[in-house]
Amino acid sequence: MNYSLHRFTFFITTIIVLSSCSKNLYQSTTYKEIEIIRDKWGVPHIKAATNAQVAYGLAWAECEDDFKTVQEQMMAIRGYLGEVNGKAGITADLGIKFMGLREVANKAYPKAFSQEFLQVLHSFVDGVNAYARAHPKEVMLKKLFPLAPQDLIAGYLLGLMEITNTRDDLEDIISGKIAKNIPKEKTRGSNAIAANANKTKDGDTYLAINSHQPMEGWYSWYEAHLVSDEGLNILGATFPMGLTIFHGANPYLGWAHTVNYADFSDIYHLEMHPTKKNYYKFDGEWLPLEKKKYKSKVKIFAGIKIGIKRSIYLSKYGPTFKTDKGYFAWSFSVQHAAKAMEQWYNMNKARNLQEFKKALAPRDIPSTNIVYADREGNIFYVSNARIPKRDARYQWDYVLPGNTSTTLWDKGFVPFDSLPQVTNPASGYVFNTNNTPFSSTGPKDNPKETALNKTMGYKSTNNENPRSLRLMELMENAGKISYEDFKRIKFDRQLPTKLAMWGIPNLDLLFQLKPEKYPDVADAIKLLNNWDKKYEVTNTETKFFNLALVVLNRMDRKALKGKITEKQCYEAIKRVKAFLLKRYGKIAIPLGEYQKHIRGEVEMPISGGRGVLSAMYTRSLGNNKEKVYSGETYIELIRFTKDGVKIESVSPYGSSARPESPHYTDQMKMFANQQLKTMSLDINQARKNAERIYHPVRFVKKKK
């Protein structure tokens, strides 16, 4: 079919079906070809004849469980969030417009996508629009609907901006934090592990999926099972408005994502003409900046909205911003990632390592580590990245000169084979915990760092974190492991023997002070020295350590290249002791007393913490309690056995974000206790044990 005709037909159909003037032409009917099977945990198992119909069912299920988040994402993409959320929303609206994601989506759609995938994309969008039409009282902003395919494409691009940390650069430019001599820095987290017969006692292949994401909101995980008569059968997790599984397992293979830290964006300082307004120098010529104006509305009171206008510019490098420090331009990998959603679709369908690597090769997904395992016993790791070929004469982790084509992204991208990767290492395991990709398996099998890394920006060799150090410690000391050993490693709550955190390479010094030398804090020193470095709910040392770490991190350590002194350790311990006595009346505070897993009226203590494999990140509630908001989140453990694929999983809260749902909090206790629920790829098993089986609604033309 001609692409232009296909696009025109799709839009005309959508507009006719969903426009308010056509209410009398269309009626709702049951979409019987699509089954939504809810298991006892409320997890949707979507069954349909075609992959496109499955996408429709997934869209419907996502809207049932979290329509508010679905709408918030799309309002931001459309530039409407400020009209609903006020000042907080307008910041997102303008930021997204400044990124130019809508322009990237418009340019790519539909010609960049295969006809097969366009059917899936259109069907998913139809499903969201149908849900909105069928539930008008839940719609937050009427003009948001109908959605178009470009909205979803731009939504994916926004998610990739988050995953690659690229949006941080935009925030730095706009806030004026950026300067020519400031290097770019990134932070995020996740764990992924795979092991095969070289490491497992039973000869099975194991995979642990354990991405650290927010527990709620735009980028929280949503579990689903997708099955079609066209061969699709995959169980795992996606984000709200995700039309495929982002990581999970099918009958043949599985994979996990973690965030990686390569250099996915560049910032340029433009040389502006001294007298000619908005002209910049490029290869000896003075070129005009293209000016773009954006408009949005922001709610200031109930029912009252005011218009906001902002301008940005475009240069050879991309979006360009005027700041009090000059004009800065921005290039980033996500500008080339419009087809990421189709790459995930192809990964969902892959049946072996060869097909999986073929799906990865285009690198339309511009980042993330990938840890892979399959039923044939293969394991594989790659630090996936879409990185431009760069001139090694420049320091690419700093702000670059914006007056020369030598720094322009027009020389192609680093080939897939040049990325750090390892397949079937002799050690029998691969992993990533957001550490350097040059430690991704046993010491003898690791990828070698080459000179190319100077321009790719990966974490260098030996750039580890506490989770990677602990994992290597456990794997190397274990010999062959059972599945129960594998689970214990995944849920481990102990810091590594050699401790380095937050840029402090000799943090062990904190645990080496002599109580008799510092009698005023002898009790606190003994508390730390006796700690087994575990984050169990019963441990009484974690609060003291966490606060001491914060105090030490704020101290001036430049002269010692980040190292701490014994005097600084004493000062930190003294300050923390005084604070805790004032706040709590004691210095030994059980972790479970202050660290809580909370949703609605449900509250319980939870183990885990910063720096351990069972990661938990908290925010203070202001009442001597801290709520876990990020960390472990969705967990899926997969075994490829002689008898087929065995899957266990858990979500931090439940399958629904609706407070009235029984599945709003029904997995919380299981999650806090590090327990897993049994899942299956057998759709008949899901149907047999279903809590509810039903069909979504669609709108069809009335018969005359």
How does pLDDT run across 401-427, given as a tens digit for each residue? 999 999 999 999 999 999 999 999 999
DSSP letter assigned to residue 137:
G
How far from the centroid of its chain's Cα atoms is residue 218's Cα? Answer: 10
Q: What is the pLDDT of residues 90-128, one digit of tens each?
A: 777 888 888 999 999 999 999 999 999 999 999 999 999
DSSP string for 191-211: EEEEE-TTTBTTS-EEEEEEE
Tokens describing residue 281: 């120098």
Burial state string for 202-221 with b = 16 or more CB within 10 A and e = fewer than 16: eebbbbbbbbbbebbbbbbb
Cα separations in angstroms, 611 against 70, 155, 262, 493, 535: 32, 31, 21, 9, 10
- In whole angstroms, what is the distance from residue 85 CA to residue 698 CA? 30
The answer to whether residue 32 scores a pLDDT higher than 90 is yes
The answer to whether residue 649 scores a pLDDT higher than 70 is yes
The kind and range of the H/E element at 399 are none
- In whole angstroms, what is the distance from residue 266 CA to residue 184 CA? 9
Q: What is the pLDDT of residue 683?
A: 98
Among residues 354, 380, 361, the alpha carbon closest in space to that of 369 is found at 380
Distant-in-sequence, close-in-space partners of 175: CB < 8 Å, separation ≥ 6: none
State the average pLDDT over residues 33-51: 99
- In whole angstroms, what is the distance from residue 460 CA to residue 463 CA? 6
pLDDT bin (cut points 50, 70, 90) of residue 17 is very low
Mean pLDDT across the chain, nearest whole number?
Answer: 93
Q: What is the pLDDT of residues 266-282, one digit of tens each?
A: 999 999 999 999 999 99
Report the predicted TM-score, pTM, of the whole model to 2 decimal places.
0.93
The kind and range of the H/E element at 619 are strand 616-620
Among residues 185, 189, 154, the alpha carbon closest in space to that of 168 is found at 185
Q: What is the pLDDT of residue 177?
A: 67
In DSSP terms, 46 is beta-bridged to 36, 226
Given a contact cutoff of 8 angstroms between Cβ atoms, the answer to whether 11 and 26 are in contact is no
The answer to whether residue 180 scores a pLDDT higher than 70 is no
Domain 504-642 coded CATH 1.10.1400.10: yes
Q: 3-class SS at 316?
A: coil
Q: What is the pLDDT of residues 577-598, one digit of tens each?
A: 999 999 999 999 999 999 999 9
Q: What is the pLDDT of residue 176?
A: 67
The C-alpha angle 581, 583, 584, rounded to 5 degrees, equals 70
Q: What is the pLDDT of residue 183?
A: 41
Letter for the amino acid at 46?
A: I
Q: What is the pLDDT of residue 698?
A: 95
- In whole angstroms, what is the distance from residue 261 CA to residue 274 CA? 38
Domain residue spans in the chain?
A: 190-264+346-398+409-490, 504-642
In this structure, the strands spanning 44-48 and 222-228 are parallel
pLDDT bin (cut points 50, 70, 90) of residue 521 is very high
Q: What is the pLDDT of residues 144-160, one digit of tens each?
A: 999 999 999 999 999 99
Neighbours of 181 (CB within 10 A): 6
Tokens describing residue 268: 């340029």
Q: What is the pLDDT of residue 15?
A: 44
Region of 281 please: left (phi>0), alpha (psi -120 to 50) or beta: beta
- In whole angstroms, what is the distance from residue 367 CA to residue 345 CA? 16
Q: Which of 94-108, 181-195, 638-652 has the lowest mean pLDDT?
A: 181-195
How far from the centroid of its chain's Cα atoms is residue 600's Cα? Answer: 24
Q: What is the pLDDT of residue 86?
A: 85
Q: What is the pLDDT of residue 182?
A: 40
In this chain, the answer to whether the domains covering 190-264+346-398+409-490 and 504-642 adopt an identical fold is no
Given a contact cutoff of 8 angstroms between Cβ atoms, the answer to whether 649 and 634 are in contact is yes
The answer to whether residue 21 scores a pLDDT higher than 50 is no
Q: What is the pLDDT of residues 226-237, one digit of tens each?
A: 999 999 999 999
Please give the share of the chain, as a percent, with pLDDT higher than 90. Answer: 84
DSSP string for 150-193: HHHHHHHHHHHHHHTTTHHHHHHHHHT---TTPPP-----EEEE
Given a contact cutoff of 8 angstroms between Cβ atoms, the answer to whether 448 and 468 are in contact is no
Distant-in-sequence, close-in-space partners of 692: CB < 8 Å, separation ≥ 6: 37, 38
How far from the centroid of its chain's Cα atoms is residue 630's Cα? Answer: 11
Distant-in-sequence, close-in-space partners of 25: CB < 8 Å, separation ≥ 6: 16, 701, 702
Tokens describing residue 343: 């790459």
- In whole angstroms, what is the distance from residue 400 CA to residue 583 CA? 48
Given a contact cutoff of 8 angstroms between Cβ atoms, the answer to whether 69 and 218 are in contact is yes
How far from the centroid of its chain's Cα atoms is residue 106's Cα? Answer: 24
Name the CATH superfamily housing domain 190-264+346-398+409-490: Aminohydrolase, N-terminal nucleophile (Ntn) domain (3.60.20.10)
